[in-house]
């Protein structure tokens, strides 16, 4: 994936993080997902007073795209406003992203500082399996 695309995607993720509803953790996260047709879907974390119901930015972006009929995403950027250093996606998000992203898909994450981590879905979620469980969709 071209550097300029990942840069633009990360900027979208940063903007999306300002929409976060995070009164409990005070930790705002934004995500921007690139679909295979070039469209971009963003999301932020949406917390709940029943803490376990909180939705991460990554899954929030994903449901936006899937709701619009997209089924394959080719890159994601994740921005955490309230951490200087990069914060990677949680385990649940790694699995959910792997449903709609191939192992080679690039992932960039960063905090408010300069450091960025560039990795892939396959690195974050190795030994993925059970994709053949899904029938026609
Ligand atoms: N969070 C995300 O939205 N994405 C991540 O990659 C890490 C964590 C959210 C969940 C919760 O609302 C807050 O950040 C603190 O964990």
Prediction pTM value: 0.97
Query: Residue 134's pLDDT is what?
Result: 87
Query: Residue 80's pLDDT is what?
Result: 98
Into how many domains does the chain fold? 1
Which residue shows structure tokens 């005070």? Answer: 26
Q: How far is CA 47 from CA 21, 28, 53, 58, in A?
A: 6, 10, 7, 13
Distance 45 CA to ligand 1 centre (A): 6
Query: Residue 135's pLDDT is what?
Result: 82
Range of the domain at 123: 3-134
Q: Can you tell me the distance from the alpha carbon of 30 to that of 56, in angstroms, rounded to the nearest whole number?
A: 9
Ligand 1 pocket: which of 21, 27, 53 to mutate (most atoms <8 Å of CB)? Answer: 27
The enclosing domain of 52 has a CATH number of: 3.40.140.10
Q: Can you tell me the distance from the alpha carbon of 124 to that of 103, in angstroms, rounded to the nearest whole number?
A: 9
Query: Residue 105's pLDDT is what?
Result: 98
The token pair that represents 22 in the structure block:
């995070």
Closest Cα to atom 4 of ligand 1: 56
Please state whether beta strands 73-80 and 40-44 pair in parallel, antiparallel, or not at all (unpaired). unpaired
The token pair that represents 126 in the structure block:
């190795």
Query: Residue 98's pLDDT is what?
Result: 98
Active site residue 115: no
Stretches where the chain sits below pLDDT 70 are: 137
């Amino acid at each position: 994936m071209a550097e300029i695309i990942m840069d633009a995607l990360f900027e979208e993720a940063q903007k999306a993080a300002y929409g976060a509803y995070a009164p409990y953790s005070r930790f705002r996260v934004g995500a921007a997902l690139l679909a295979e047709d070039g469209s971009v879907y963003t999301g932020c974390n949406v917390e709940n007073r029943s803490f376990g119901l909180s939705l991460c930015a990554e899954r929030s972006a994903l449901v936006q795209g899937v709701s619009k009929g997209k089924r394959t995403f080719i890159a994601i950027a994740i921005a955490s406003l309230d951490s200087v250093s990069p914060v990677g996606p949680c385990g649940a998000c790694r699995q959910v992203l792997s449903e709609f992203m191939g192992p080679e898909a690039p992932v960039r994450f960063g905090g408010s500082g300069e450091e960025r981590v560039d990795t892939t879905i396959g690195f974050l979620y190795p030994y993925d399996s059970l994709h053949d469980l899904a029938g026609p969709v």
